Structure 1
Amino acid sequence: MLRMGSPAPSIKVGDWLRGEPLADFHPGKVYIAQFWATWCELCAAEMLELMQLQEKYKDSGLEVVGIAADEDAPTAVEARTKLDAWLAEKCPDLNHRIAFDFTGEMKKLWREPSFCVGVPTSFVVDRDGCIAFIGHPSQLGEVLPKVLNGSWRTSKKAKAADHERIATSEPLAREQALKKPMDDRFWAAVKLEDWKTALWAIEQGIALMPDDQLFHPANDHSRLPPAERFAMGKELSEHILALNPPQGDSPKFRSYPAVARYYHENGNNDRAIELVEVALTSLDGPEPIPAELKEQHLPHLLQALAKYRGASRGRYETGRRFDFSHRSHVARA
C-alpha cells in the first residue's frame, strides 16, 4: 500500500514531453507529481494552478512534475501527438516538466498501490523522499506550505486525512478493478461497431453497480451512431432506473446524467431536468461521498441542468439553489 510516509516510487516513463528528464527525487526538494489527461475537463484549470504554485514556491525547493499516463489513443505515437497539441494550446507558457507513459508502469507504481482511480490526482513528495500527501489538487493550497515547512506529515490533520482517503478510496478502487473486464469488452466492441456486445457489456456493468463509473462524464459515448444510441438508451435507461430508483438512497451522480441525456436527445427535457436534480441531491448522501468526487461531478451536473432548462423553456432558469454540506451552489446561466 502506498500512503503518507511511504517512500516515493520510482519514475519510470517512456519520454519527457516538456522539461529535462528527472531520474530520481533529490533530497531536500519537494515534488508534486500530478497525473492528468487531455480528456479530463478539470485538468486544464488544475494545470494553470500548478504553474502558479511552481512560480510561487520555486525558491523554496518545489518542483512540479506532470504525468500523462491516461491517454485514450490506439498507439503511443498518437497519444503523444494529442498531448503535444493539447499542451501547445492550453499551456504555451508551461513552467514545469511533463512525463509521458503509455505502458501503464506509472499507474502500477503510483496509482494502484494508493487506490487512486481517477485524474487529476496529486502526490506530494517531501524533502526526505517520502509521500506526504495523496489527493485532489484542490487541496494543495492548504497542504503544500505545510509540507514545505516540514509540519504537515506529523500533524493530526494529515494523519486523519490519510486514513479517511484510504477508507473511501479503497472500495472505489476495488470496484473499478472488478468492473474493468466489462469496460474492456465495451470499448473493444465499440471499436468493432459491435453494438450488441457493447450493450451486453453495459448491462453487465449496470447489474454489478447501478451507479456505474462507465457513465463518468469523461467517458464519451457519443461515438455510437444515433440509431444505436437511441435503441440502447431506452433499454438502458429503464434498466438503470429499475436498479437504482429515484427514491432510493444509492448514489446517482454517475449514471443518472447518462439517462438524462437520453431523455434530452429524445425531446423530453422535463424528465431530463428531473433526473439531473435527483443526481445533484445524491451528491449530499446519505451515503458518504468524498469531497473530490463532489468537486469533480458538480460542474458537469450544473452544466447539464442549465442546458436542459434552456432547451425546455428557451432560457436558463436562475435562482434555483442546491445546498450541500460543504457549500451552497446556485445553478445560474
Structure 2
Amino acid sequence: MREILALLLFSMSFRSFAESKSIVLNNIDTLQNKNELRIGDPAPEVKVRWIKGKPVQKFEKGMVYVFEFWATWCGPCIKAMPHVTELAKKYAGKATFTGVSVWERGKPGQNINELVDKFVKDMDDRMGYNVAMDGIDGYMVKNWVEATGQTSIPATIIVDGNGKIAWIGQPMEMDSVLLQIIEGKFDSKGFAAKIAKSQESTFKGNKELEAQVAALKPIQDAIDSKDYGLAMKRYNSTIQADPSKKSFLFIAYYTSLIHLDPDQAYSDALRFKDSAMIQYAIVRVFSAEENLNKKFYAYAISYFEKQPNNFGFWPMSSAAYFNFGDVAKAVETLQKFIDWCNAAKAPPPAAYLEKEMDRLQRYKNVLEKK
C-alpha cells in the first residue's frame, strides 16, 4: 500500500491526474483483501525468491528473525544496509537477518529479477545477510508490510523466539530493541499498546482509499477511452449516491467537463479563483490535457508564474508551456526540476524520475526540430 501511496503523492504533486491515477488503479488489487497483523500475532509464512544466504523455511524455537524490507530505488534502505550487516554479524547464531526486496520497478521491458540480482551482487559484503525478493503477487507486501500497517520503506519487522511479531519500525532504530527481544526482556504488550493507534489509523485509511479508488475506476475507464459523456454520467451517479466522494473525484469530473463544455470549464476556473485547492486541481487539468484552446494553457502558466519557486509545480508548468507552444521554456523548466530531484536528500521514486527524464527528452527532440 505505501509504495502505491508514495508514488501517488509524488505523481499527484508533480504530474497530471491522468498519469497519477493510473498508479493506483493499475495496482487496485493490492488495495484489497489485506490482512491486519498486530504485535503478538503469529508471523505469516515466508514466500520469497531467495537470492543470497540460507532460506528461512520455518521459524525455529528460540531464534529471533529480523526482516528488513527494501528496494533498489530506496536511498534510505541502501543507507541502512551496512548497519543491518553489522547487527547480523553481532548477533549471529541468535538472530537471523533477511532483506526482502519489495515494490521493485524498472524501465519497460526490463527484467526486474536481473535488476535486483545485480544490485545484490554489487552490494556484496555490504549486504551481509540473507537476501530475497517478493514475488510478482506481492505476498510479502500484503501479508507482512501492509498487514502491519507499515506506510514506507525501509521497514523492519522482528519475529521473536516464539514465532510471533514482536516489533515493527525502522532499521536504524532497532539496536536496543533487538537485544531486548533476544534476551526475552522486551515489553511486547507495552509496545503493542503504543503503536495500536497508529496501526488502526492506517488500517482505516486503507479501507477508505480502497472505497475511493473503486469509485474512481469506472469513471477513469471512460475518460481513458475518451467517452467523456459516459464519464460524466458515472460521476454524477456516484456523487448522487455518496456526496462525500466529490472532492476525491473532482479532477476526473473536471477532465470530463473540459472536453464536454470548455466554456463552462473556463468560466468555473474564473469563478473559483479564491479557492486555492480548486485552483490547483484546475490548473493541473489545464496543463496536462492536450489540444485545448491556448487560453487554458495561458491560464495555467499565469498561475504557476506567480509561484516560481514552488518546485512541485515545475513538471506541471513545463507541460503547460509545451502545450502552449513554448517548447524552450518547457525544456528549461523540466530540466530545472530534474536537477532539483537529483540534488535532493529525499528524491522522488526512481521510476517516476525516469518518466520525467523521458518526457524531457521528448521535449528536446521537438525543440531540435524547430
Q: TM-score range by the shorter chain?
A: 0.5 to 0.7
Give per-residue Cα distances to partners, 1:158-192, cap 9 Å, x unaligned: 1333313314422443355346669999xx9xxxx
Superposition deviation, residue 27 in structure 1: 1.1
Query: 1:173 aligned to 2:206?
Result: yes
Letter in 1 for 2:139: E
Superposition deviation, residue 116 in structure 1: 2.5
Number of residue pairs matched?
A: 231
Partner SS for 1:58 = coil
> Aligned equivalents of 2:225 and 2:124: distance in 1?
38
> Aligned equivalents of 2:141 and 2:69: distance in 1?
9
19 and 184 in structure 1: CA distance in 2 versus 1, 3 angstrom threshold: farther
Query: 1:24 aligned to 2:58?
Result: yes
Letter in 1 for 2:177: V
1:300 matched residue in structure 2: 346
Q: Which has the higher contact order (CA 8 A, sep 6+)?
A: 2
Alignment of 1:125-274 (within 5 A): 125-154=159-188, 156=190, 158-178=191-211, 207-208=247-248, 231=288, 258-259=312-313, 262=316
1:71 matched residue in structure 2: 104
2:360 matched residue in structure 1: none
29 and 229 in structure 1: CA distance in 2 versus 1, 3 angstrom threshold: farther
| 8 Å CA contact retained: 2:62, 2:162 | yes
User: For the aligned residues, what is the CA RMSD?
Assistant: 4.7
> Aligned equivalents of 2:216 and 2:51: distance in 1?
29
Give per-residue Cα distances to partners, 1:277-320, cap 9 Å, x unaligned: xxxxxxxxxxxxxxxxxxxxx9438xxxxxxxxxxxxxxxxxxx
Superposition deviation, residue 264 in structure 1: 8.6
> Aligned equivalents of 1:22 and 1:76: distance in 2?
31
1:95 matched residue in structure 2: 128
Higher gyration radius (CA): 2
> Aligned equivalents of 1:12 and 1:181: distance in 2?
28
Show structure 2 runs of 5+ residues with no match: 1-35, 232-244, 251-284, 291-295, 322-328, 331-343, 348-370
300 and 93 in structure 1: CA distance in 2 versus 1, 3 angstrom threshold: closer
Give per-residue Cα distances to partners, 1:13-69, cap 9 Å, x unaligned: 2x211112221111111111122111222110122221111112224x011111123
Query: 1:51 aligned to 2:51?
Result: no
| 8 Å CA contact retained: 1:115, 1:173 | no
Q: What percent identity do the matched residue pairs reach?
A: 23
1:2 matched residue in structure 2: 37
Letter in 2 for 1:12: K
> Aligned equivalents of 1:257 and 1:74: distance in 2?
25
Letter in 2 for 1:148: I
Superposition deviation, residue 135 in structure 1: 2.4
TM-score, structure 2 as length reference: 0.50
> Aligned equivalents of 1:184 and 1:23: distance in 2?
39
> Aligned equivalents of 2:286 and 2:125: distance in 1?
37
Partner SS for 2:47 = coil
Letter in 2 for 1:258: G
Letter in 1 for 2:92: K
Superposition deviation, residue 229 in structure 1: 11
> Aligned equivalents of 1:51 and 1:300: distance in 2?
23
258 and 127 in structure 1: CA distance in 2 versus 1, 3 angstrom threshold: same
Give per-residue Cα distances to partners, 1:223-275, cap 9 Å, x unaligned: xxxxx99646998x97xx9xxxx9xxxxxxxxx8633554699779xxxxxxx
Give per-residue Cα distances to partners, 1:57-100, cap 9 Å, x unaligned: 224x0111111232125899811111012222334442211122
TM-score, structure 1 as length reference: 0.55
User: Higher helix proportion, which one?
Assistant: 2
| 8 Å CA contact retained: 1:25, 1:129 | yes
| 8 Å CA contact retained: 1:117, 1:173 | no
